[in-house]
Amino acid sequence: MNAALAHSQTAPDTRPREVPEAMLDALRARFGDRLSTALAVREQHGRDESVFVVAPPAAVVFAESTQAVADAVVIASRFAVPVIAFGAGSSVEGHLLAVQGGISIDLGRMNRVLAINADDLTVTVQPGVTRKQLNDEIKSTGLFFPIDPGADATLGGMSATRASGTNAVRYGTMRENVLALQVVTASGEVIRTGTRARKSAAGYDLTRLFVGSEGTLGVITEVTLRIYPLPEAVSAATCSFPSIEAAVRTTIQTIQLGVPIARVELIDANTVRMVNAHSQLGLREEPMLLMEFHGSPASVQEQAHTVQEIAAEHGGKAFAWATTPEERTRLWTARHNAYFAAIQSRPGCRVIATDTCVPISRMADCLLDSLAEVEASGIPYFLLGHVGDGNFHFGYLIDPDDPRERAVSEALNHQLVTRALAVGGTCTGEHGVGLHKMGFLMDEAGAGAVEMMRTLKRALDPKNIMNPGKIFTV
């Protein structure tokens, strides 16, 4: 399966489909000034954080209700024209590019928290609500939503890409935390995929079919999520290590022991330097774990004690504690901004980010081999990892005008994915496939499984209008 990665250079399908004037007229009649064909607006909606060249849609609809989304999809379906759902624009694999033309539906105005069911630990939101907005709005209830990708992404977008982040090791990913969705299908019908019950065995798991479908099966118009009591005690610490290997092995043992650590993030020395420069922090510029412990005061203390012992065995320095909420916020904000810190370290660069996730026992080998390769290549990079999940990101900071740097970085990624697949891992832990990993998906899942995905797509979207040309070509 993974020997040749034969398909990974498959070119994305980029034949744009015509958007007829009659369709724009129909949209204009329905949406008035909530339709835009201005170039600046279209260009803003035809790109994301990836290295791909902007591919603007023909028009952007600013939807303000589920009905508006349904109406836009019905019009697009009538003309067999692509529809791309747009949240915050923070995806990283080319998900939002209108590579086959069509329209973008901007869901940013659908940003209301519809229901906070604090007693049930659930919340229902419109798709344009961002993760930070949600946490601000539920703060007074003593509850929080843990999934935190680097960007302040929308919950619709996070559902569509099966996002996760630093808390996934304890709280799971969007896969585990979306209870139900409201979806506009490719024919413009509105369905619900589940209930607010914590578990269910009622028929096919439509919720999880849409979570991670990257807009290719329908548009998510409501999201019901699990939320969690804010832990009684939270304590965060950093720990520096003599080597990346020592940090990774500390993580592996922590997980294998079953310590319910809430966050355990790896940052290499090179990336710590970037973070220090960007966020005015004075972190030791050595390989480092950023950790957080949640629980009762006694349990937090106990967890920290156990991890300190493991770290000490691997030459870890004493924990540096971030004790106040402000210090903690500062630390985690710096971590979340690491991506942007890295970009600023090389003005004008773009990032090719890797996203492999491997069984935890294989993480050290996988990561260290790829580290040696990037060091040898001379390409500037950052290295961050949600290492408690076996998921880590190299970001290759390339000059977008230098084809050699891009080719070298893609080759590094290719070697890393090959290595990850060989040990039973995945090419993408949390970013999704988009345009960039279609070949890797074929190598990972195999032709039969990808053909099954295509069959599902053709059945639910026979005109191939929902974000076509992403994940696979139909």
Q: Which residues between 267 and 306 bind its own copies (CB under 8 A)?
A: 295-296, 298-299, 302
Among the residue ranges 278-286, 326-334, 374-382, 452-460, the one whose residues contact its own copies (CB under 8 A): 452-460
Is residue 453 within the footprint of its own copies (CB under 8 A)?
yes
Piece of 41-49, 58-66, 395-403, 434-442 that binds its own copies (CB under 8 A):
434-442
Q: Applying CB under 8 A, does 140 fall inside the site for its own copies?
A: no
Q: Does 233 engage in binding with its own copies (CB under 8 A)? A: no
Show contacts with its own copies in window 370-399 (CB under 8 A): 389-391
- Asked whether position 185 contacts its own copies by CB under 8 A, the answer is yes
Q: Which two tokens stand for residue 452?
A: 């099954």
Contact between 257 and its own copies (CB under 8 A)? Answer: yes
* 213 touching its own copies, by CB under 8 A: yes
Q: Does 173 bind its own copies (CB under 8 A)?
A: yes
CB of 369 to its own copies, least distance (A): 17
Q: Per rule CB under 8 A, is residue 426 in the interface with its own copies?
A: yes
Asked if 119 interacts with its own copies (CB under 8 A), we say yes
Window contacting its own copies (CB under 8 A); options: 248-256, 263-271, 284-292, 321-329 = 248-256
d(CA 83, CA 92): 19
CB count within 10 Å of CB 160 equals 31
Stretch near its own copies under the rule CB under 8 A, chosen from 46-54, 76-84, 253-261, 375-383: 253-261
| Minimum CB distance to its own copies smaller for 12 or for 425 | 425
Pairing of strands 320-322, 113-117: unpaired
Given candidates 77, 166, 193, 409, which one binds its own copies under the rule CB under 8 A? 193
Sign of CA dihedral 58, 64, 70, 75: negative
Q: For residues 316 and 432, which CB has a smaller minimum distance to its own copies in the complex?
A: 432
Euclidean distance between CA atoms 56 and 100, whole angstroms: 10
With CA atoms as reference, report the closest residue to 466 among 156, 191, 88, 213: 213
Q: Is 459 in the site for its own copies (CB under 8 A)?
A: yes
| Beta carbon nearer to its own copies, 281 or 456 | 456
Nearer to its own copies, 26 or 211 (CB): 211
Residue of 11, 39, 40, 201 that binds its own copies (CB under 8 A): 201
The least distance separating its own copies from the CB of residue 405, rounded to whole angstroms, comes to 26
Residue 148 within binding range of its own copies, rule CB under 8 A: no
Q: Are 237 and 328 in contact (CB under 8 A)?
A: no
- Find all residues with CB under 8 Å of 22, minimum gap 6, and list them: 79
- Return the closest-CA partner of residue 57 out of 107, 103, 15, 105: 103
| DSSP states of 219-278 | EEEEEEEE-EEPPSEEEEEEEE-SSHHHHHHHHHHHHHTT---SEEEEE-HHHHHHHHHH
Alpha carbon of residue 305 to chain centroid: 32
Minimum distance, C-beta of residue 395 to its own copies, in the bound complex (Å)? 17
Virtual torsion, Cα 310, 320, 292, 352, nearest 10 deg: -90
Q: Determine the interface stretch with its own copies among 35-43, 226-234, 331-339, 367-375 (rule: CB under 8 A).
A: 226-234
Q: How far is CA 227 from CA 176, 208, 417, in A?
A: 11, 18, 33
Cβ 92 to its own copies shortest distance, Å = 11
Of 27, 219, 334, 445, the one binding its own copies by CB under 8 A: 445
Residue 107: closest CA among 191, 54, 205, 183? 183
CB of 134 to its own copies, least distance (A): 18
DSSP string of 188-226? Answer: S-EEE---SSS---SSS-HHHHHTTSTTSSEEEEEEEEE
Of 120-128, 267-275, 316-324, 346-354, the segment contacting its own copies by CB under 8 A is: 120-128
CB of 464 to its own copies, least distance (A): 14
Cα separation, 11 vs 469, in Å, equals: 10
The residue written with tokens 């053709």 in the block is 458
- Looking only at residues 8 through 67 of this chain, which bind its own copies when binding is defined by CB under 8 A? none
Between CA 357 and CA 428 the distance in angstroms is: 6
Of positions 58, 138, 272, 441, contacts its own copies by CB under 8 A: 441
Within residues 322-381, the interface with its own copies by CB under 8 A covers: 355, 357-362
- Considering beta carbons, is residue 41 or 364 the nearer one to its own copies? 364
> What's the closest the beta carbon of residue 385 comes to its own copies, in angstroms?
13
309 contacts its own copies (rule: CB under 8 A): no
What is the number of residues in the chain? 474
Q: Provide, rounded to whole angstroms, the least separation between the CB of residue 158 and its own copies.
A: 11
Helical packing angle, 21-31 and 66-79, nearest 10°? 160
